[in-house]
Chain A
Amino acid sequence: MSLHTLDALDAARAIREKVLSPVDLVDALLERIERIDGRIQAWVLVDRDGARLAARQAADEAARGVFRGPLHGVPFGAKDIFYSAGLPTEAGSKVMAGFVPDYDATSVARLKAAGAILLGKLHTTEFATTDPAPTRNPWNLACTPGGSSSGSAAAVAARMIPLSLGTQTIGSNVRPASYCGLVGLKPTFGRISTRGVFALSYTQDHVGLMARSVEDIALGLSVTAGHDPADPSSSREPVPDYLAALTRRRAPRVGVLREFFERATPEVADVTAQSINRLVRAGADVEETKLPPTFRAVAGAAYVITRSETASVHAERFALKADLYRPGIRSTIEMGMLIPGDIYVRALRIRRQFRRELSSLLERYDALLTPTTPTPAPEGMATGDASFQLPWSMSGLPSVTVPCGLTTSGLPLGVQLVGRAFTEASLLSAAAWCEDVLGRASAPSL
């Protein structure tokens, strides 16, 4: 087996069993990046020297039987809005040119503390909004990988790393994961610290994970989740062993949200319906259900909240450097400046009502199910339709996508599962069961 195809858990096991050296693994991935990233453009910066140094240290420690944690010697990448000590972090923007943070984002620091090796920084749309990154979809270079976590998705799909950090404020982690045939998790709001991540919308920003298996997502979440005193939105909910939870996988009780099928292309709706039939045949308890009435105000409320908060985030920088912002983020900030405070607060109240109603609906199910996206990855630069992620970002509830098949043109599709707040253990267990039934995505040919 080529080393670049190893998933995170397999690589970690092989390193622990001393049949794989972190140095060989890092070298194989750097070679892979050298060979194919000119076409994919997932990476803003590859820290070759830093990664090789960390790999040598990891190898030395492993030889002495010292393992920092469950990801000892396993490489990962981070979207370029995650602070990384000593490495440029420019958020895809000329505004931040030359910015080098002096500390790691908490999620980056926790992965490193678990033994993982930061290979470099991955392309993002400007400040994680709409102005696109140059990154292409490994399944079809004419298509977007989605965004804003464009590089995070493309790099994992192209077997340049097994695990990446992304973020989601509206639809920026789960959607690109699905467009690229990956498993992607947006956990509950507050589950993973956002300290050291460029804010887009303080009360809707989520750190997310992308990988090629549910097991790798569970492993990554076990390491990154947990309270962070430096992040006021960080939760004190206990962190279970998400990987251990996968050993208890069983056929879930699923509520299917038919509204989403009506807004998807016929092919997406058909592939998703076939996937549901396979889940039912394997024992899933499936029934159709409906979103609560608040759903009709959710998109408006989400955009009011994000624009208002983005304007606040950028107020000082924008006053000095408005001309350096690209058109999408610039108009987002300008409009956010004009939204009245009473409308913003009312949107926050609608959000809370929606979350309460959704939580009530979810008491009847292990998960809600939708197609992950209304279309496969579109051609061109625009990063696609985030509307199938928006309700879960808005409500702060956890959602995960698992691959469910390919279109006739060979692009990946996924099914999205949504769970109750802080039930990632059971949500990932349901996702792993679905993954067993539906199969994992193959690799794109590059």
Chain B
Amino acid sequence: MDHEGQRAEYAAQLRAAAEQRFGAARAAELARTIDDVAGWMTDVATFPVTADDLPAFYGEPAP
């Protein structure tokens, strides 16, 4: 799927989730934000990461 197609799919998923969680009226108010977040999710989902790219960041020692 291309970038725009992926973004549209994420936006649709987010709209549906927003309607279910916050109601249709609030989901409509969030329309522009939903489009922004769908774009960010697409940027993240389509960027290649390797198996070695772990998410660790904290340096907390084991208890």
Contacts and interface: CB of A to CB of B under 8 A. Distances in A.
Nearest to A355: B57
Given A232-B60, A339-B37, A334 B18 contact: yes
Contacts of B47: 294, 296-297, 300-301, 346, 350
Nearest to A353: B53
Interface in A195-209: 203
A282 interface: no
A75 interface: no
B25 interface: no
Contacts of B59: 190, 233, 235-236
A321 interface: no
Interface string A310-321: 000000000000
B44 A307 contact: no
A349 B14 contact: no
Interface string B1-31: 0000000000000100110011000100010
Contacts of A294: 47
A446 interface: no
Interface in A277-316: 294, 296-297, 299-301, 303-304, 307
Of the four ranges (under 10, 10 to 19, 20 to 34, 35 or more), the interface on chain A belongs to: 20 to 34
A390 B54 CA distance: 21
A303 B56 contact: no
A157 B11 CA distance: 43
A334 B44 CA distance: 19
Contacts of A236: 59, 61
Interface string A120-131: 000000000000
B30 A304 contact: no
Given A300-B39, A338-B21, A351 B57 contact: yes
A300 B49 contact: no
Contacts of B39: 300
A234 B14 CA distance: 35
B55 A339 contact: no
A334 B57 CA distance: 25
Contacts of B21: 334, 337-338
> SS class of chain B's interface: helix, strand, loop or mixed?
helix
Interface residues of B, number: 30
B41 A339 contact: yes
A343 interface: yes
Q: Of residues A190, A203, A296, A303, which shows the largest number of chain B Cβ atoms within 10 Å of its Cβ?
A: A303
A396 interface: yes
A208 B61 CA distance: 24
Given A297-B44, A300-B39, A300-B41, A350 B18 contact: no
A340 B41 CA distance: 9
Nearest to B58: A233
Nearest to A301: B44
Contacts of B33: 331, 335
A338 B42 contact: no
A338 B17 contact: yes
Contacts of A396: 57
Interface in A172-216: 189-190, 203
Interface in A223-238: 232-233, 235-236
A335 B44 contact: no
Interface string A1-32: 00000000000000000000000000000000
Given A236-B59, A339-B41, A350 B30 contact: no
A108 to B, nearest CB: 23
A343 B56 CA distance: 15
A304 B44 contact: yes
A300 B55 CA distance: 16
A352 interface: yes
Contacts of A203: 57-58
Given A301-B43, A303-B40, A334 B49 contact: no
Contacts of B17: 338
11 contacts: A297-B44, A297-B47, A300-B43, A301-B44, A304-B37, A307-B37, A338-B37, A339-B37, A349-B54, A350-B49, A352-B56
Q: Which 5 A-B pairs have the closest CB atoms?
A: A300-B43, A348-B55, A300-B40, A297-B47, A232-B60
